[in-house]
Structure formats: C-alpha cells, structure tokens
Amino acid sequence: MTQQLLKALEPIWKQQGYQAMTPIQEELYQPIKEGKNIVATSPTGTGKTLAYLWPLLEEIQPQKGLQLLIIAPSQELVSQLGDVVNLWATPLNLKGQILLGGANFKRQVDALKAKPEIIIATPGRLNELAEKSSKLKFHLVKTIVFDEADYLMNPEHRQSMAKITKRLMRDVQKIWISATLNDTLRQIAQKEGELIQPEQTHHDLAIKHQYVLTPNRKKSDALRRLAHIDGMKGMVFFDQVHELEKTAAKLVHHGIPVAALHSDLSKQERELAMRLIHSGQVTFLLTTDVAARGLDIGDLPFIIHFNKPRTSDSYLHRSGRTGRSGKKGQVISLVNEQELKDLQDLLQSEGIALEAQALYEGQIEGADQVRRKKKNKTKHKHRKNKGKKRSKKQRKNKKG
C-alpha cells in the first residue's frame, strides 16, 4: 500500500486487528494496481475481498461517479460486501451503494442520485435498474469484480453476466474471485486474464475435518445432541429446503434456538436470520450452498454437513466458513457408511483426511476413545452387578 493510503486506513487496520497481509492480498496488490485482468482463487477465509478492494480503492477518485462495480450472487453477500466496502471507503471520501432484489426499487434509484463511486449488486437487480433507469453510468466504470465467480460464471448465470459486461467499455478491467477453480474459470484465465493462486493448503486454516457415522433417520437426533456441546455455534448445510425446514421444526420442538436461511424466504426473514446468528442468539444457522455463498460470520467454531457435499468444491466452500483469522474450527460431516466412502474419495485429491468422531455424554470425541470408554463402563457395570449378586448370596448364607 502507498503511504497515503496506509495513513488514511491505519485506524481501521488497527481496529480490525490486522497484523500483516495474507498471501492472496500480497499477490493481487500489484497486478490489480496495474489494471490487469485477473482470475484469482484462494480458500474461503483468506481475505479475498480486501485483496481486491485495497488496490482498487487507491485508483478511485472521489466525486467522479461510478468507477467500481462488484457483482455477487446473493442478497446476503451483497449486504456483507457493502459493509466491508463502506468501512474502508469512507475514510477516503468514497461511497459504496448496494443494489439487491427484494429492496424498494424507487429508493434504490433515488440513492443513485448521490453518485456513489462503488456499486455492489446482485446481477438480477443490476440488470433491472439498467433497463428501467438511466441513473447507472456504465461507461464510467473502470473495473468490474465478479465475487464468487465460479458460481456467477455457471451456464445458468452466463446470460445475465453477458448483459452486464455488454454495458461496459471494452477496456474495463475484469477481476474474477473465487475460493475454487473450475473449468469455466480456467478457460477465462486462458483467454482473458492472468491466473493467480497463492500456495496455501486447507490445513493452514486451523480446521479439523471430522465425521460422525450416522444413519439417515438419526441425523436430526445427532444434530440435537451436537447442539448441547459447550460453545456450540454452527452453520448446518442441507441439500433440500424441505429437509432443512423439517429439521428446523424438530430442533425448535426440543427447545434449540435455530435460524434458517434459504432462497424461499423473504428478504426480511433472511435479514432476521443473519441478525440472529451474528448476535449469537441461535445455536445453528440452517442453510443451503447457494444461500450461504461467500457469507462471513465472525467467530463461527463449527460447520456441520447434514447432507454430504456433492463435490470437493462444495465441501471447501462450506468448510471455509470456520477457522478464519487464525481461529480454530471444526467441520463435522454426518454420514452413513456409503456416504463416508464417497466423501473420502472426493477429498482425497484435496489432501484432507477425515477423523472418526462419536457423540458421547454431551461431547464429541475420537471414535476409538469413545469405544474404550463404553467398554470400560460396561466392565465396571458388570463387576458392580457381580458384586451385588455375591452380597445377596452372602446374606442368604448368614440367614441359613
């Protein structure tokens, strides 16, 4: 960072507890400042947002209109990015504006009159505003960032992305940011930009990867038991919304505070869920892959896979929500025997070995350790019963 930028942002740097830049932040800084098109990947929780934001903030001029466009796939991620952008942009006299579906359309159009230098938006709402309002000055945009690019560049979203990029000048800088590298991003890197992948293993993130063998019908019960572990606060991932809702109802019935986050909920319901988990009022946030994309929830010690992830990318995206900022994290997969084999096959190429765990007397411990404890308990009980029988015999003999 330049001395000028460092001086302006130093109070926030200290307040946020930063000590040094992460590998992705160091490697992206100069290429982004030079205006290069970049495809960058780094595991979840390594500081990718600030990796692109810091160098871009240096290039933005106050009161010169829209210069930076950040696209993200979900309303929650847009809101989260908006908070981060404004935290760092405000000391530089820059404004960030979020645009997302579900919010009041007219109010968002009115907010654009303030001419924010940075816009953070979901693709759908951005295209809608572009078609119905002339307030968005796309020709001024110098840089566009695709956050969670592996998802945004999927075939189902490609048309929406193409609509956005067609509105921009040809020489606009493009940055694709993702936790994982898929074939689409590889192709983009070959055609349009430089690929940056700092060396960093998933084990660097202080995350323990574990599993608990659980029959399908017992998964809700296992989740209920996990809720009673000391310090439990976790995000629980599901494949299907109906199973998520069914499990949430069971947990609430047992007095366990939970929140749900998925695409079928209204904007207000989703905002409430985020407030509840951020404030620590709930034990679990039950969610899906799509709804939780890119979410950063501070101090989240547990990630639980209620349903086995279908791909290694999905596993890494989910698991990266814990173990952030040097803190320890636990990832627990609730799997039956077949799911365990499938998951181990998936993770072999990632160098992740799963530890066997079991639930016992309100704690989660190594499966072997639990087996030994149960064995010792059975032996102790057997001796106790034997002693009782012997003392009964002795009393009878005395009477005789």
Are 330 and 302 in contact by the 8 Å Cβ rule? The answer is: yes
pLDDT in tens, 101-125: 878 888 999 999 999 999 999 999 9
pTM given for the model:
0.76
For residue 332, which of 193, 194, 213 has the smallest C-alpha distance?
Answer: 213
- Ordered alpha helix ranges (H), the chain: 3-15, 23-33, 48-59, 75-89, 105-111, 123-132, 149-152, 155-166, 183-192, 219-226, 241-253, 267-278, 312-319, 337-348, 367-399
Q: Phi/psi at 11 (nearest 5 deg)? A: -60, -40
pLDDT in tens, 290-315: 888 878 787 899 999 999 999 988 89
The residue ranges of every structural domain in the chain are: 3-196, 206-368
| CATH number listed for the domain at residues 206-368 | 3.40.50.300
Do the two domains 3-196 and 206-368 of this chain adopt the same fold? Answer: yes
pLDDT in tens, 182-208: 899 999 999 998 999 987 554 445 789
CATH architecture assigned to 3-196: 3-Layer(aba) Sandwich (3.40)
Are 145 and 68 in contact by the 8 Å Cβ rule? The answer is: yes
How crowded is residue 186: how many other Cβ atoms within 10 Å of its Cβ? 12
Q: Which two tokens stand for residue 251?
A: 């947990």
For residue 182, which of 205, 153, 156 has the smallest C-alpha distance?
Answer: 153
CA distance 342 to 335: 10
Q: Which two tokens stand for residue 388?
A: 């009782």
The DSSP bridge partners found for residue 238 are 288
CA distance 187 to 199: 21
pLDDT in tens, 324-361: 766 789 999 999 999 999 999 999 888 888 999 998 87
Residue 383 pLDDT > 80: no
